Structure 1
Amino acid sequence: MMMQQVYPAARHDYCYELNKDFHFAAAHYVPAEEAGKCQQLHGHTYYVNVTVAGDELDSAGFLVNFAIIKQLIHNRFDHTLLNDDKESFNDAAADYFPTTEVVARTIHEIVQRHLDGTSNKPQCVQVYLRETPTSYCIFRPKRKADHDEGS
């Protein structure tokens, strides 16, 4: 069971904001000497909060179905070795090592890819990823600049 928790809020101007909490268990290692003990294979129960925001609801009256958000990530990463997911991670480039930061960014990318294919096109504005009871990371995408500014 997940504890109710208040997460840092992502700034946005959308009418609706949806938050989905879930967790998954996965192993990883960080292939960098600077990672110390984390170079060794080890596991975590990751706790995730995904924040989706938008102005339009879909034909079911949802910003996005809660279940889809969990399925996208849980079905892909639960009980896996993250390093084996070569679509998302690799051992050659630090930007693709499965660190908490990179996993949070990857969750954002997976969710946003799904959202981009929906009729109402909401935005994933924040991913909060807790790796241990004392360590977490937040990924917030940079805001896209309005092309209409100044015209």
Structure 2
Amino acid sequence: MYEVTVEATFSSGHYLRDYHGKCENPHGHNYRVLVTLVGKELDSSGLLLDFKELKRLLRPIVEYLDHNMINELEPFTVLNPSAENLARYFFDQTNTRLLELTRGRVRVAQSTVFETDSSAATYRE
């Protein structure tokens, strides 16, 4: 099995609903996202997926969230914008784009969202 990972960053605000503590108040983070892809077969160039192509796939997802209040964006108007839910969001959004691009040859193995340098949440299936 082959794996490739890329990193993306963005800055956004959010607050947690149904939470009692500092994070119930609006605040911001400089997020760091790691998305890891997996697949059994390489393409004709010997790549699972070109890093440049994966970054291109991530760009609209990152730009949607960047410099916005995440709570005001779908699906986070209802879904709590926790690091865990953001990790799932990146996983699902990237997988959808990959399915169209690679016809299932490559899929997301995991997505990790760092809210700080020392705090992260990961989603995998």
Answer yes or no: same fold by TM over 0.5.
yes
How much has 1:22 moved relative to structure 2?
A: 1.5
Match of 1:89 in 2: 76
Say whether the 8 Å CA contact 1:19–1:49 is kept in structure 2: yes
* Amino-acid identity (%): 31
Letter in 2 for 1:17: E
Distance 1:77 1:111 in 2: 14
Unaligned runs of 5+ in 2: none
Equivalenced residue count is 121
Q: Normalising by the residue count of structure 1, what TM-score does the alignment of the two structures yield?
A: 0.72
Q: Match for 2:58: what amino acid?
A: K
The answer to which structure has the higher strand fraction is 2
Query: 1:54 aligned to 2:42?
Result: no
Structure with the greater relative contact order (CA < 8 A, sep ≥ 6): 1 or 2?
Answer: 2
C-alpha offsets along residues 117-148 of structure 1, whole Å, 9 cap, x if unaligned?
1234211011111101221111112xxxxxxx
Q: Which runs of 5+ in 1 are unaligned?
A: 1-13, 142-151
Paired residue secondary structure (2:34) = strand
Matched ranges for 1:22-61 at <5 A = 22-32=8-18, 34-58=19-43
Structure with higher Rg: it is 1
Tell me how large the CA RMSD over aligned residues is: 1.8
Give the TM-score normalised by the residue count of structure 2: 0.85
More helix by share: 2
